[in-house]
């Protein structure tokens, strides 16, 4: 059985003080972690505040990015080793904003996935097509290629434990959600891709999130789909009330 995982991705929002306030407002109303895993991915500068406030609660913590080297002459980067030492659980890898604005390649994303796993954390690996790709009827091929490249040389056991987030770029921050059927269709393609690359056990275990204008109003419908195990949520994760509605979607 796959445990549902709802993760807020704050992007470049909130300072340490906002972070503490947010966590204090939500931490006693989160579902049990074996029912739904609640995660917040915060900017690197907010992670100490996130960890301190979340301690002892059901809130899991995530970084929004990291580098693929643990140390060295890489000015401005974040060490996966240090994230692990701090107590961070997840790292979002290959978000479309990182691919687009910061020119991250499939190869970088694969190296980061290895680095996160080597440092005992769980990657949330993002994939998703542009509107142009969708309109050209090439979504499946695009997503298959991104997933295959991201998972290169990872073991079946590593893949079974990680999270893949399907985020169609045209649905991010636009208010345009993929319909739950469109999201299911591509999440199914991702699961089949994992099955082809590995085996049925691995594809049955890997968790797949949908992201792109997920809101309290549509989360239940999305989560009712067989291949959707969670959400990666931007805008609607910024307010405590809305985040609580998302993680408590089963109530």
Is the Cβ of residue 123 or residue 234 nearer to ligand 13P in the bound state? 234
Contacts 24+ apart (CB under 8 A), 32-36: 32/58, 33/3, 33/58, 33/60, 34/3, 35/3, 35/4, 35/250, 36/3, 36/4, 36/5, 36/6, 36/247, 36/248, 36/249, 36/250
Please tell me which residue in 60, 95, 104, 129 is annotated as part of the active site.
95
CA–CA separation, 191 and 188 (whole Å): 5
Binding site for ligand 13P (CB under 6 A): 9, 95, 167, 172-173, 211-214, 232-236
Q: Of 53 and 124, which has the nearer Cβ to ligand 13P? A: 124
Which of 198/249 has CB closer to ligand 13P?
Answer: 249
CB of 217 to ligand 13P, least distance (A): 12
Given CA atoms 29, 35, 36, 38 in this order, what sign does their dihedral have? positive
CB of residue 215 vs ligand 13P: minimum separation in angstroms?
8
Residue 200 CB, shortest distance to ligand 13P, in Å, is 29
Measured from the CB atom, the residue of 202 and 231 that comes closer to ligand 13P is: 231
11: left (phi over 0), alpha (psi -120 to 50) or beta: left
Annotated binding residue at 215? no
The answer to whether 212 is annotated as binding is no
Handedness of CA 19, 125, 175, 247 (dihedral sign): negative
Shortest Cβ distance from residue 109 to ligand 13P (Å)? Answer: 14
* 153 in catalytic set: no
- Residue 103 known to be catalytic: no
Name the 3-class secondary structure at 39.
strand
Catalytic (active-site) positions = 95, 167
Which residue numbers belong to the known binding site for substrate?
9-11, 173, 213, 234-235
Which residue numbers belong to the known binding site?
9-11, 173, 213, 234-235
């Amino acid at each position: 059985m796959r445990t549902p995982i709802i993760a807020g991705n704050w992007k470049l929002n909130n300072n340490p003080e906002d972070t503490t306030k947010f966590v204090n407002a939500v931490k006693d109303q989160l579902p049990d972690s074996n029912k739904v895993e609640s995660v917040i991915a915060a900017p690197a500068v907010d992670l100490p505040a996130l960890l301190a406030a979340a301690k002892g609660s059901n809130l899991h913590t995530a970084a929004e990015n990291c580098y693929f080297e643990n140390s060295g002459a890489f000015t401005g980067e974040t060490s996966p080793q240090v994230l692990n030492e701090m107590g961070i659980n997840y790292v979002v890898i290959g978000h479309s904003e990182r691919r687009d604005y910061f020119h991250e390649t499939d190869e970088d994303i694969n190296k980061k996935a290895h680095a996160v796993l080597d440092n005992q954390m769980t990657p949330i690996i993002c994939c998703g097509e542009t509107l142009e790709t969708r309109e050209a009827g090439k979504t499946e091929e695009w997503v298959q290629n991104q997933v295959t490249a991201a998972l290169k040389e990872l073991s079946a056991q590593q893949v079974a434990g990680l999270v893949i987030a399907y985020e169609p770029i045209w649905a991010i921050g636009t208010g345009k959600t993929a319909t739950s059927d469109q999201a299911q269709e591509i999440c199914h393609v991702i699961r089949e891709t994992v099955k082809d690359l590995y085996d049925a056990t691995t594809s049955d275990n890997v968790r797949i999130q949908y992201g792109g204008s997920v809101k309290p109003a549509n989360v239940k419908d999305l989560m009712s789909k067989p291949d959707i195990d969670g959400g990666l949520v931007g805008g609607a994760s910024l307010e405590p009330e809305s985040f609580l509605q998302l993680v408590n979607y089963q109530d």
